[in-house]
Each structure stands twice: as C-alpha cells, then as structure tokens.
Amino acid sequence: MIMQNVRVQFTIPNVEKVANLDIHVNGEQRSLKFRVETFNWDSDNGSSEDLVNILRDRIQNYDSQWELYHIGAPQEHSIPITFRFNEKNSEN
C-alpha cells in the first residue's frame, strides 16, 4: 500500500505570511510552503449557511497557486484556513 499524504499537526507561532518547511522523505529533501489566512466568521454577516457560502466562495477564488489544505476550528469571530503552495499551478 502506498501512502500519498502524511498529516502532522504542529503549531507555528506568529506566521504572518508563509511558513516554509523543509522535510526529508525517504532521504529526499522536499520544501513545502503553507499560508494561514484568517477569515471573518461573524454572525452579523448572516446565517451560518450564508457564512459557509461566503467562505466557499473565498476558497474557490483564492490565488490558484495555493490549494486548500485545512480548515481550522472557528474561533470567536474568525476561522483559520491553511493553504499549501501548489508547484504544479505555479508554472502557469
């Protein structure tokens, strides 16, 4: 069985723009880039369904060089979204 993805959760404090991670997989070094964006999740902007639609639209229209990686748990008035740099889309 071939595993395509390994998910490791860790905290990187104070990421303002992009987190660059260098990892080794089977002795080969790989560089990964992640970006965490915080989206407003305020009930004053509508119902939960409205907020989900707004969030879905923002994710679908996000910079095409970045792919959705993880949607975090909503906090007081925001929700963190992690994107991973997609090298395949950066060649365009």
CA 51/CA 77 separation, integer angstroms: 11
Q: What is the pLDDT of residues 31-65, one digit of tens each?
A: 889 888 888 877 777 788 888 898 899 999 999 99
Across the range 63-75, mean pLDDT stands at: 90
The pTM assigned to this predicted structure is: 0.75
3-state secondary structure of 48: helix
Helix residue ranges per DSSP H, 1-92: 48-60, 87-90
CB contact set of 21 (below 8 Å; sequence gap of 6+): 31, 32, 33, 34
CB contact set of 71 (below 8 Å; sequence gap of 6+): 79, 80, 81, 82
